[in-house]
Amino acid sequence: MSEKINVAEIFGANVFSDAVMRERLPEKVYKEVRRTIESGAEMSLATADVVANAMKDWAVERGATHYTHWFQPLTGITAEKHDSFVSAPVNGKTLLEFSGKNLIKGEPDASSFPSGGLRATFEARGYTAWDCTSPAFLKEDATGKILCIPTAFCSYTGEALDKKTPLLRSMEALSDQAIRILRLFGNTSATRVTPSVGPEQEYFLIDREKYLQRKDLIYAGRTLFGASAPKGQELEDHYFGTIRERIGAFMKDLNIELWKLGIPAKTQHNEVAPAQHELAPIYEEANIATDHNQLVMETMKKVAGRHGMHCLLNEKPFAGVNGSGKHNNWSLISDDGINMLDPGKTPHENIQFLLVLACIIKAVDVHADLLRESAADVGNDHRLGANEAPPAIISIFLGAQLEDVVKQLVETGEATSSLKEGKLDTGVHSLPVLAKDATDRNRTSPFAFTGNKFEFRMVGSSDSIASPNTTLNAIVAEAFCEAADLLETADDFDAAVHDLIKKYLTEHQRVIFNGNGYSEEWVAEAERRGLPNIRTMVDAIPALTTDKAVSLYEKFGIFTKAELMSRAEVLYETYAKAINIEALTMIDMAGKQIIPAVISYTTELASSMTAVTEACPEADVSVQKELLLEVSALLSETKVALSALQGLQSDGVAIPDAKAMAHFYKEEVVPAMAALRAPVDKLEMLVDKEYWPMPSYGDLIFEV
């Protein structure tokens, strides 16, 4: 019998939450902390000392011995350095100490994290700064219980070296401009608008013993060789299918761990591909959702290990079946409870919503290249545009109801009606008649309106959601700002807002597309409309450093030009290094495992032919001979392709410029890797399984 789980009791048990602060802090101190969180007011060191002591006592009572400033450098994962609460011994005894100074600031080595040239190797000082808007929490693992303090990370000279700092800057910028929009419509109660985010996380689970037999999975996170299994996802029997016992046990433990961390894990199910699954949380403020999604990915890996499995977060771990993404659901919520993306029952009459919608459509059209870049990573190059995920072309799906309203405004200058919700009659008397939405969904759209939010479907499964949300916040802040600048000085507000909505929708309607994003016709139509089709990460990176991007980010204080240049440099380096690791792994596997295994097989095959003909000269060995010739030809092709890849890989690492190196790996090394994989995958289908040196796709995705 399974143990009883009291979710209400365990939820947030490991979080220094608002409720815990209210209980443990003096009222005056608690109110000052809330003012800092809500309005950015500076916190005094005396208050920080009180908070730090309460935080330490709470953590120690729960068994914590160390604390860490938990931050998100440009590696895309999290970082932590543990310090104990132990103070210098006096008379052979020690006290446990944690001051406000310890809480507010830490000092990791800034030269050891990617900086894109912002820091020289010998310039080591960097600072972590407490982000009090995201609650501290306890991590439990083999090292014990660690008090984790969410922080930003910056260089000695003040530049952001992390993903959180720009996100927080973008949230402030968006809030300031969104409040201006609300004020235009008479809202005087709202003081802050926050982007609310719900990231759906896709992942694969495979058996850990099999994982450890695949060097490509260990080093690169995805299979670099592998023939398709006889069965894939074509029967569509895995999606929403019954969750197997082993996977269910993992999901149960995962939920418990996440709930203890205050992460509102809500939905779990099997995804389309075999061995693929999804977890979706309830929406939270963007910075907290970002922190929590990092913890979700980390916890998935930890819990999978306990169950003898390994969690794969690479966007394309297996060729021929769907890869994994992370749908970033984004909306705007004011502190007086208004969802600025809620169209209401009659959106044609909701002028505030129509202005917000028009601004977002404009933002996405003007900055499609930046939005595409925000979802660019090495693994996503294998997924975007592959008819399993959104195309690489940015477009907006509005659905029938809003598309009809937009059409009315563009064509006649006035919207007089909205399509109504219908009723869905199943034809079965015992089933209820259901309310039917006025709009369907579109799974092929990269940026889809889904009722009261936009779903940015491009984000890769292994990525931090900080970058896409920073970009979304920034481009929408700019559009809101430009609209507010015009409307705040208008003599006739009603006429001005009406004209501005029509203007934005007319000028930027090219980005609206409700059809099949997978079709070749859409690719041609998008080109005709002038929409960018940025196919790879390397091609997307330049969007960061255009004059348009620099102007946007500097205007709102989100990035300096130097910070943007550094991020482009980091991304070029990341791409080149990732592909180099994949190339080296292929070289290692082909040279040390695959070619020797095939030679052993052909030797055995030739020996058996000789034995047969010696025993029976008239025996027909034509099949064996044909197989030997076919395998030998593929073996030769493999050796030639291996030599070519070895030469190119050596050439690539000698290129000193990060951008040139990234282009070389994309244009030369990636095709050479594909040329090596092709004969190897054919050999896997011919060589006796007894000789093949690694688990097959069938072993990996069906035997979990």
Reading the block at residue 569, the tokens are 């440099």
pLDDT interval class at 612 (50, 70, 90): confident
User: Which range among 44-53, 480-489, 492-501 shows the weakest confidence by mean pLDDT?
Assistant: 44-53
- Residue 224's alpha-carbon distances to 182, 588, 632, 641, in angstroms, are 52, 11, 22, 14
Reading the block at residue 425, the tokens are 């009659």
8 Å CB contact between 641 and 682? no
pLDDT surpassing 50 at residue 1: no
| pLDDT tens digits for range 572-584 | 999 999 999 999 9
Position 556 scores a pLDDT of: 98
- The residue among 197 and 111 whose pLDDT is bigger is 197
Position 382 scores a pLDDT of: 94
- Residue 696's alpha-carbon distances to 628, 690, 692, 704, in angstroms, are 22, 12, 9, 13
Place of tokens 């005894």: 93
Give the chain's mean pLDDT: 93
**CA nearest to 10, candidates 249, 260, 230:** 260
Position 97 scores a pLDDT of: 75
Mean pLDDT of 432-443: 74
Q: What is the enclosing helix (H) or strand (E) of 101?
A: helix 100-104
| pLDDT tens digits for range 306-331 | 999 999 999 999 999 999 999 999 99
Mean pLDDT of 431-439: 73
Topology of domain 575-702, per CATH? Answer: Four Helix Bundle (Hemerythrin (Met), subunit A) (1.20.120)
Task: Please state, in angstroms and rounded to a whole number, the distance separating the CA atoms of residues 462 and 142.
Answer: 24
pLDDT surpassing 80 at residue 415: yes
Instruction: Give CATH superfamily name and number for 7-162.
Output: Glutamine synthetase, N-terminal domain (3.10.20.70)
pLDDT interval class at 120 (50, 70, 90): confident
Pinpoint the residues of the chain covered by CATH 3.10.20.70.
7-162
8 Å CB contact between 193 and 180? no
| pLDDT tens digits for range 465-479 | 999 999 999 999 999
- The residue among 424 and 49 whose pLDDT is bigger is 49
Mean pLDDT of 397-420: 90
pLDDT interval class at 558 (50, 70, 90): very high
pLDDT surpassing 50 at residue 665: yes
**In this structure, are strands 144-155 and 64-70 parallel, antiparallel, or unpaired?**
parallel
Pinpoint the residues of the chain covered by CATH 1.20.120.1560.
575-702
pLDDT interval class at 2 (50, 70, 90): low
- Residue 44's alpha-carbon distances to 17, 23, 156, in angstroms, are 20, 20, 22
Position 39 scores a pLDDT of: 81
Task: Please state, in angstroms and rounded to a whole number, the distance separating the CA atoms of residues 427 and 424.
Answer: 9
One-character DSSP codes across 53-67: HHHHHHHHHTTEEEE
Mean pLDDT of 266-289: 96
pLDDT interval class at 124 (50, 70, 90): confident
Q: What's CA 134's distance to the chain center, in Å?
A: 19
CATH code of 170-559, in short, is 3.30.590.10
| pLDDT tens digits for range 330-388 | 999 999 999 999 999 999 999 999 999 999 999 999 999 999 999 999 999 999 988 78
**CA nearest to 329, candidates 193, 472, 435:** 472
In the chain the first and final C-alpha atoms are separated, in Å, by: 23
Q: What's CA 45's distance to the chain center, in Å?
A: 36
| pLDDT tens digits for range 209-230 | 999 999 999 999 999 999 999 9
**In this structure, are strands 326-334 and 454-456 parallel, antiparallel, or unpaired?**
antiparallel
Pinpoint the residues of the chain covered by CATH 3.30.590.10.
170-559
